[in-house]
Structure 1
């Protein structure tokens, strides 16, 4: 007798034998069934992921694109119409305002945060209004370009009438922001509206629509100073405005290279089509002019070492952009275009630090006089 086997009388089937025979039969039937069954796709038979613990949520993201995706469905087309999911353009409109506000601050003082906030709200609204106007003008063109065919007006998600109502709401709110400024700034700000309305038409008329965009997008270089000081110091504001226009010619020419093939087909003009293979030489000239304009503006308001260091960093950033740019790769053009936010932030930081440095310099000069 084997160790551990139960004792049973010889010649007589026990309950254990019947149980063993039953289990063996079931096992063989299972094997035959498994062999005959066709294999299921791995996606079906793969084990499901364990359910997330109760109360756990997807990590919150505060990017503009995520906020638009999280918005209610009926509101989402309007947020897309004002390009809220693509904040690069809003930054490029806002940053010249911050430069001007920073340069207008008193020596040794930080920029006026109230003004920075007002101009930030105004930049969001006016960029949104500009995009709405642009899409109203270009709704037929946008349908023919792969990159823009999904825009709300081109895709039929919003009607023309609804877009006009939405545009009126944005302009009304922007007017409320403008009315918070002094009278000089209100008149100066209102003067830019003609540029905002006519810019989208320029691509039908001239190969230089980017120049008109530069005149429009950098109006804040004039308006920021007047909002703080009550009027413009033209010896500072004009060189700063000129520098901003040159900057826009750089980044928007790069941007235009994304659509140049479609633009040729539909008959739209741009500096990308004007410059063609000479684009890098033109961009180098615009960048040099921008740096010179910034230097003149800095000298006319007694800027200091941190400011000029930032201007040098801006020049280096632009040089790297141009040197590494591949005008035949739309994804590289978009990457270079979006990186211009860094250019604007670098300059703003330099302006703030340069203004604070003025206090240090003035204290160094006054200290020996007090000891006499």
Structure 2
């Protein structure tokens, strides 16, 4: 009976993975996917092993680096392009190496889902969180937003940064609200859409840093006017005393 049940589950899983594969093929009209598809058949397996045709992992690894580099830029300046290129290359290489090592390590149980985790006794977070997955995700999301706000305060960010944080909060809220944890295709869509989070925050940091220069100029102008008025008042007072 258990073998029959397991076979049925595996059949359902296979259908799910087919749907997921079709979804991935549909969205893989990117430059990276075309690059892999047009490559020599001899190197295609290695490129796919590194997930070059699915660059979302590299992007998600790069964006936190990009945020840090943008935050570290001098006031009113753009991020260091050389540093962005360096960390971008590093993210690409590390992601490819990680995927390769992971596939070598768990090649017999790769692409498992919650059903397989239960049957194999794997203690994954997918099993641990269970029906409370959205609750945990909400908690993680709030921690992330709070951390971004704290980072903004510590680095004296301006309104473009906080606008981007607000947009990210809306994005995460919508993700969690509409998430179907029992649908791998929907989960994959949500995962891929997190690329927008990286872009939105990066743009907010860059624009916010450029705005700092304008704020500094305004503050300097106000200080100069205040000092000028103080000098005039002092001169007027001295002339009256004389």
Structure with the larger RCO, 1 or 2 (CA within 8 Å, 6+ apart) = 2
CA–CA separation in structure 2 for the residues paired with 1:89 and 1:312: 24
Quote how far apart the aligned CAs of 1:271 are. Answer: 1.4
Q: 2:174 aligns with which of 320, 329, 332?
A: 320
Provide TM-score, normalisation by structure 2.
Answer: 0.79
Quote how far apart the aligned CAs of 1:368 are. Answer: 3.0
Say if 1:309 and 1:350, in contact at 8 Å, map to a contact too.
Answer: yes
Q: For 1:94-243, what aligned pairs fall within 5 Å after superposition?
A: 94-142=62-110, 148=111
Unpaired runs of at least 5, structure 1: 1-60, 143-147, 149-257
Say if 1:141 and 1:266, in contact at 8 Å, map to a contact too.
Answer: no
Q: 2:51 aligns with which of 83, 98, 101?
A: 83
Match of residue 273 from structure 1 = 127
CA–CA separation in structure 1 for the residues paired with 2:173 and 2:74: 32
Quote how far apart the aligned CAs of 1:65 are. Answer: 1.2
Divergent runs of 4+, >6 A: none
Match of residue 307 from structure 1 = 161
CA–CA separation in structure 2 for the residues paired with 1:351 and 1:262: 42
1:264 paired with 2:118, answer: yes
CA–CA separation in structure 2 for the residues paired with 1:90 and 1:136: 19
| Structure whose CA Rg is larger | 1
Q: What CA deviation, in whole Å up to 9, does each residue of 1:284-305 have, x standing for no partner?
A: 0100000011111111111111
Match of residue 368 from structure 1 = 222
Give the helix-richer structure, 1 or 2: 2
1:291 paired with 2:145, answer: yes
CA–CA separation in structure 1 for the residues paired with 2:106 and 2:127: 19
Q: What CA deviation, in whole Å up to 9, does each residue of 1:228-270 have, x standing for no partner?
A: xxxxxxxxxxxxxxxxxxxxxxxxxxxxxx8212222233332
Q: 1:345 aligns with which of 199, 221, 224?
A: 199
Say if 1:310 and 1:350, in contact at 8 Å, map to a contact too.
Answer: yes
Say if 1:82 and 1:132, in contact at 8 Å, map to a contact too.
Answer: yes
Say if 1:65 and 1:84, in contact at 8 Å, map to a contact too.
Answer: yes
Match of residue 334 from structure 1 = 188
Unpaired runs of at least 5, structure 2: 1-28, 229-242
Quote how far apart the aligned CAs of 1:367 are. Answer: 1.5
* Alignment root-mean-square deviation, CA: 1.4
Quote how far apart the aligned CAs of 1:62 are. Answer: 5.4
- The count of corresponding residues between Structure 1 and Structure 2 is 198
